[in-house]
Amino acid sequence: QLLFDSMYAYCGLHNLGGLWVWLQPLWQVFMVLAAAAAQDQHRSAVRQARHPTRPAEPRSPGTTRLPYVAVGLSYALLLFLSRRIALYPMGGLIVGAVILTTVVLLRQLTVVRDNRVLALTDALTGLANRSLLHTRLAASLDTARRTGTRVGVLVIDLNRFKQVNDTLGHEAGDAMLVGVGQALRAVVRPSDTAARLGGDEFAVVVDRLPSLDPARTVAERILAALDAPIVFRDLLLEARASIGVAISGPDAE
């Protein structure tokens, strides 16, 4: 699009109506390619939604770099055209193109960051998801082997959660899950990882433990934090949980 707009401006400045006629098909090609790209992204999103466990199809480095190559070529064309044209009005076109490209790149970086957050966190509670938990757990086990420490894993299951959903509705269940997530964040250390595994199951990876006792202490703190009622509209929900604790060792990962 930038290439086409540049050529359009060039033809307008030099009254090259004949060349403009030949440039019209370029605009049509651009619109077709833009529509095809949008359709391809839509198909990929639908495919990923239907099969969330299927890994995304990897893209070749050349494909991911293609937009940047196009931007570079467009700017090269602008610089070439500006050699024999005065700063006005060509300077305004160049400045506008730079601003537009900067805004697009900032938006792209924001989308990449947001997509990464969505891919690694639970959308409801904001805790880590199962994928991030396994990654952190593997890193913690590697550190434990090098430092001679241990790693604790706490698996938390909410009691009578199905009854809350059945009697008060899914909104009440979601409120309880959010409250449990807030309680976990308030209790665990910054170096630990609290995650929602799915449904009413949560887990916490406790790093750098000398023995089982600190992991048991963390479990007790979680149970104490869950004693506080969770406010849902005009109701007070009580979250009760069962916690299983496992700890790594020389013969037990």
Say if CB 205 and CB 133 are below 8 A apart. yes
| Helix or strand (DSSP H, E) at 236 | strand 235-237
Measured in residues, the chain has a length of: 253
State whether residue 99 is helix, strand or coil: helix
Q: Which two tokens stand for residue 181?
A: 């997530």
Confirm if 94 and 2 have CB atoms less than 8 A apart.
no
**Catalytic, out of 122, 192, 200, 207:** 200
Q: Bridge partners of 230?
A: 237
Looking at the DSSP bridge assignments, the partners of residue 206 are: 152
Residue type, 72: G
**Residue 200 among the catalytic residues:** yes
Closest Cα to residue 96, out of 201, 230, 2, 231? Answer: 2
CA 14 to chain centre: 48
Amino acid at 171: E
CB 196 within 8 A of CB 166: no
Q: Is 59 helix (H, G, I), strand (E, B) or coil?
A: coil
* Contact status, residue 210 vs residue 224, Cβ threshold 8 Å: no
- Report, in angstroms and rounded to the nearest whole number, the Rg of the chain calculated over CA atoms: 28
Q: Give residue for tokens 């090269």.
A: 76
Residue 78 corresponds to which amino acid? Answer: L
User: Which positions are catalytic?
Assistant: 200
